[in-house]
Amino acid sequence: MSIDPSTVRRGTLRTLGAFGAATTLGAPWIHVRAQGKVIKLAHHVSLQSEQHKAAEQFGELLQKYTSGALTVRVLPAAQAGGQREAVESVSLGALEMAYGESGLYANTVPRFGVIALPYMYRDVKHWQSVVEGPIGQGLAADLQKANGLRIVNWMIGGYRDTYLRTKAIRKPEDFAGVKIRLPEAPVFVRTFRALGAIPTPIPAPEMYSALQTGVVDAMEGSAETAFTFKIFEVAKYMSRTRHILLDGSFVINGRFYDALPKDQQAAIERAAGEVAAEQRREHFVREAAWVEKLKASGRLESNDVDLAAFATKLAPVHDEFASAAKATDIVAKIKAL
């Protein structure tokens, strides 16, 4: 496994068109087979991130399990564009693999968004039973049918907090009028609109500058994201809203996958599964370490919030989103588990 030799420039957004200029869009799986089956795996976050470590480990295991027949070239830090662009590139065949998440998949399969509804899960075991059980399997099948993206594992993206420039958040009403940077995902927009905030979807590579220049007042995300993107340099407050427990997953182009021999398909599933299991085991230890690093920066004031008040305020979002996405059955099943 190797990292793409081009210079990694944190925060640089390359559009799908620019990336596609160097790639055969029509039948990239044929090109890859001719080159010894090199799988390009893109993600939008930093070299310090859990996602990057998982991508590297996946490449090492896949090379081992296929005796070198398949190798992985990691394209980190938005080299292939933001998360949406990378996932779209996999769907189109310009990339073989990328790191995605349910909120983003909901742009294609609206029902997928229920996985990321706010304050949905009692605990991590509840979340895991959803994504790895019949609900997650059914949604993954819908995604593959819709745009050819095959999910090969389920990782945990973690709880998300809020980072603000001018004030702390302590109760739901404090979000009124706050312009907040969000991922380009419908469930996030609905969640913060319900809180009275002004949702502003912006690709991850641009969130630092958006805060720095005052385009937005706040952003939300994991402690890892806040540290590795150096959000502590442009925000003053870290409010522990823990509003969404987010998933993450590696997706592969379905046509590329189907063209592989069965033993190589099995190797991909095995390597991806092992990487996900390790990532989930270690996530919350790493999360605690990222939080401590943020506090140690000396630039952020951290505060807890009234989580029960937030859960009550956002409870109607569950039914509203499920109704709009025709997913009331899935929400009922999640709550019944």
Q: What is the pLDDT of residues 212-233, one digit of tens each?
A: 999 999 999 999 999 999 999 9
Burial of 125 (0-12, 13-18, 19+ CB in 10 A): exposed
The pTM score is 0.86
Q: What backbone phi and psi angles, to 5 degrees, belong to 253?
A: -60, 125
Q: How would you classify the pairing of strands 245-253 and 97-100?
A: antiparallel
- Where do we find the tokens 């160097």? 22
Kindly list the distances between the CA atom of residue 241 and the CA atoms of 164, 171, 261, 311, in Å, as whole numbers in the listed order.
12, 9, 46, 10
Kindly list the distances between the CA atom of residue 100 and the CA atoms of 82, 127, 313, in Å, as whole numbers in the listed order.
10, 17, 28
Encoded amino acid at 3, one letter: I
Cβ–Cβ under 8 Å, residues 276 and 154: yes
Q: What backbone phi and psi angles, to 5 degrees, belong to 26?
A: -65, -50
> Per CATH, the architecture of 159-244+288-336 is what?
3-Layer(aba) Sandwich (3.40)
Least confident among 35-44, 87-96, 164-173, 302-311? 35-44
At 36, the pLDDT band (50, 70, 90 cuts) reads: low
The mean per-residue pLDDT over the stretch 204-210 comes to 94
Burial of 166 (0-12, 13-18, 19+ CB in 10 A): exposed
Where in the chain do CATH 3.40.190.170 domains reside? 2-109+123-156+247-282, 159-244+288-336
Residue 184: predicted pLDDT: 87
Q: Which CATH number fits domain 2-109+123-156+247-282: 3.40.50.150, 3.40.190.170, 3.40.30.10, 1.10.10.60?
A: 3.40.190.170
Angle in degrees, 0-180, between the axes of helices 134-147 and 328-336, rounded to the nearest 10: 150
Using only C-alpha atoms, what is the Rg of the chain?
Answer: 19
Q: 232-254: per-residue pLDDT in tens? A: 999 999 999 999 999 999 999 99
Cβ–Cβ under 8 Å, residues 239 and 78: no
Kindly list the distances between the CA atom of residue 20 and the CA atoms of 5, 72, 79, 243, in Å, as whole numbers in the listed order.
17, 19, 12, 36
Q: What backbone phi and psi angles, to 5 degrees, belong to 221?
A: 170, -175
pLDDT score of 24 more than 60? no
Contacts of the segment 209-215: beta carbons below 8 A, 24+ positions apart? 209/11, 210/181, 211/163, 211/165, 211/181, 211/235, 214/165, 215/179
Mean pLDDT estimate for the chain: 90
Q: How far is 59 from 248, CA to CA, in rounded Å?
A: 17
Kindly list the distances between the CA atom of residue 323 and the CA atoms of 118, 130, 331, 334, in Å, as whole numbers in the listed order.
15, 19, 10, 15
Q: How far is 58 from 52, CA to CA, in rounded Å?
A: 10
DSSP assignment, residue 217? S
Work out the percent of the chain whose per-residue pLDDT is above 90: 88
The mean per-residue pLDDT over the stretch 262-280 comes to 98
Q: 151-186: per-residue pLDDT in tens? A: 999 999 999 999 999 999 999 999 999 999 999 899
Find the angle CA(70)-CA(94)-CA(13) to the nearest 5 degrees: 110
Residue 214: CB atoms within 10 A of its CB come to 11
- Where do we find the tokens 């008040």? 309
Burial of 90 (0-12, 13-18, 19+ CB in 10 A): buried
Between 1 and 284, residue with greater pLDDT? 284
Burial of 129 (0-12, 13-18, 19+ CB in 10 A): middle
